[in-house]
Amino acid sequence: MFIDDLPTPCLLIERRRLEANLARMQATAEAQGVALRPHVKTHKSVRLARWQRERGARGLTVATVDEAEVFVAAGFEDVRLAYPVVGAERHARLQRLADRARISFCVDTVAGAEAASAAWAGAGRRADVLVEIDVGHGRTGVPWHHADAEVLARRVAALPGLCLAGILTHEGQAYHGPVHDAEDEAGALRRVARETVGRMLDVAVGWRAAGVPGVEPGAFALSIGSTPSMAGFENAGRDGFRITEIRPGNYVFNDATQVGLGSARWADCALTVLATVISKRRDPTGRERFFLDAGKKVLTADGGYGTDGYGRLLYNARTMTPLPHARLTALSEEHGWGVVPGGAPFDVGDRVRIVPNHACVTVHTQDEVYLVDGDTVIEALPVDARGRRRISGRGGE
Ligand SMILES: Cc1ncc(COP(=O)(O)O)c(C=O)c1O
């Protein structure tokens, strides 16, 4: 089968680019002496997670219990929820998974830790828990410099049913782009990576000095992860502590945001949306407008640092040549609207490829994606862990 035979819009994954991305991040992990525990929210694919494992990944990261259920059912034995788990229903489902796999999760509040303790101790079980730390992103996690972090760690260490296994952060501020006018992208990514490592070490070293139980080099996890910050990651240690694992997700595909941030090149972008040109005309100002059959429902409305419009247009669909001046300026649900100054080198019925702004949410729009090599379709990969949020028939229970 060839990509011309596929219905559009659909998602293509270039096998060689994917392979190169997997190998590059695995090499980074090995060079820095950390485990690569990839975040599977990007691809939600059992096949892809197996390829990551075959290349050396140790354990998986997930964001949701739904994802955990899919990957444990597929035989993955070490699954970390990089998310504060709150709610008795979630804990009950995780406990069922803990019969078959090593399950760990995050807490970032005393209330969340106490509820987790009640759930796990109440069931006569013990869970590995990581305290989520905020190293500057401003999302969940206790700020690294705040006394509340140590208070929470002591509480987790003392609560029945919980074992304080480490600290975890997502340095999502790497997505904000350079903050100083004079700083270039590469410099900004190195700074975020350096700050992330330093702040995680501050926490671990500080807790150990303060006598928080279980905080010992070697036995205590220091988990960081985002794709852009990995471009500047150096595993500096202090007092015996080092970062123990990295959890990037997006790196398997990359996207227009990673290119905007300077953490990937267009040639590293493995995921594209294949779309058909459905209409073309001149607008009253004389500019040529074109319309694609790919709108918000596949490209999503996400932007990202350094992106321009709703993805980068490549032409033609086979050679993946970037089309320098084409812009996807607007989206409605099923339409992508674009302009090409000077005229579009494609006609109604032609196919184009688009590197999306945000690969992870783009994948989540599809039931399957197509692994391709040039214009040959190798196989369809199911997006196994999407669309599972229903209460009937969950996991065969
Ligand atoms: C908690 C957590 N860990 C790891 C990641 C992976 O980061 P990236 O998508 O930049 O690879 C994310 C991304 O959202 C995250 O939220």
The confidence score (pLDDT) of residue 396 equals 45
The pLDDT score that the predictor gives to residue 392 is: 65
What dotted CATH number matches 33-253? 3.20.20.10
DSSP string, 189-230: HHHHHHHHHHHHHHHHHHHHHTT-TT--TTTSEEEE--HHHH
- What pLDDT, on the 0 to 100 scale, is given for residue 343? 81
With a 6 Å cutoff on the Cβ, whether 82 touches ligand 1 is yes
Mutational test site, ligand 1, from 22, 39, 85, max ligand atoms within 8 Å of CB: 39
For the ranges 3-7, 90-94, 308-312, 342-346, which has the lowest average pLDDT? Answer: 342-346
The answer to whether residue 178 scores a pLDDT higher than 90 is no
pLDDT digits (tens, 9 = 90+) for 250-285: 999 999 999 999 999 999 999 999 999 999 998 888
Question: Cα-Cα-Cα-Cα dihedral of 62, 269, 366, 106, to 10°?
Answer: 10
| Between 394 and 382, residue with greater pLDDT | 382
Domain limits, CATH 2.40.37.20, in the chain? 266-382
In tens, the pLDDT along 295-345 reads 999 999 999 999 999 999 986 556 666 777 889 999 999 999 999 888 888
What is the whole-number distance in angstroms between the Cα of residue 175 and the centre of ligand 1? 11
Mean pLDDT, residues 72-93:
98
| Residue 224 CB neighbour total at 10 angstroms | 27
Fold topology of 266-382: Lyase, Ornithine Decarboxylase; Chain A, domain 1 (2.40.37)
Distance 42 CA to ligand 1 centre (A): 9
| Residues 49, 40 contacting (CB under 8 angstroms) | yes
Q: What is the pLDDT of residues 333-361, one digit of tens each?
A: 999 999 988 888 889 999 999 999 999 99
| pLDDT tens digit sequence for 141-170 | 999 999 999 999 999 999 999 999 999 999
Using a 6 Å cutoff on CB, does residue 226 contact ligand 1?
Answer: yes
Q: Mark out the alpha helices in 231-325 (DSSP H runs).
A: 256-261, 296-299
CATH 3.20.20.10 in the chain: give the residue spans: 33-253
Q: Is the CB of 170 under 6 A from ligand 1?
A: yes
Ligand 1 in contact with 249 (CB < 6 A)?
yes
